[in-house]
Amino acid sequence: MDKIRDLLIELKKESIDIVLNDDELEVFYDTDDLDPVIYDQIKNNKDQLIQFLKSSKSDINNPFSIPVSPIKAAYPLTNSQSRLWILSQLEGGSLAYNMPAAVRFTGTVDFDKFE
């Protein structure tokens, strides 16, 4: 499946979208003609593309959705986050990454989603 992921990523870079519609692939692109090499790649991998898109069970425009993480009391920091935290603990640490803001909402707000 890595081959199919790589192909989809390459197609996305070329602004080519593939949509699965009733077990048929629909290909959308901005140019007048599709590059013959890309056309052959899609054609030669059609069955695998269909299988991948069916099994992804995610938004068709984003078959690489990020899975929901389990709820925990704390989560590990990335290396960058650790560096920022350490620098903020030093004497004279910068508050540059602490940028408070106020936002005014209009209309109806779903507070469960907002939280």
What's the pLDDT at 91?
73
Rounded (5°) CA angle 60-67-59: 10
What's the pLDDT at 61?
54
What's the pLDDT at 72?
92
Cα–Cα distance for residue pair 60/17, rounded to 1 Å: 10
User: Mind giving me the DSSP string for 41-79?
Assistant: HHHHTHHHHHHHHHHH-S-TT-TTPPPPPPP-S--PPPH
What's the pLDDT at 73?
92
- The neighbouring-strand residues paired with 29 are 16
List the pLDDT tens digit at each of the 115 positions of the chain.
Answer: 688 888 988 898 888 988 888 888 888 888 888 888 989 999 999 999 988 888 875 554 555 567 788 899 999 999 999 988 888 888 776 667 677 888 888 888 888 888 8
* pTM (two decimals): 0.47
Cα–Cα distance for residue pair 69/82, rounded to 1 Å: 20
What's the pLDDT at 62?
57
**Dihedrals phi, psi of 21, to nearest 5 degrees:** -130, 110
What's the pLDDT at 2?
81
List the domain boundaries for the chain.
2-56
29 Cβ contact list (under 8 Å, min separation 6): 14, 15, 16, 17
Cα–Cα distance for residue pair 59/61, rounded to 1 Å: 5
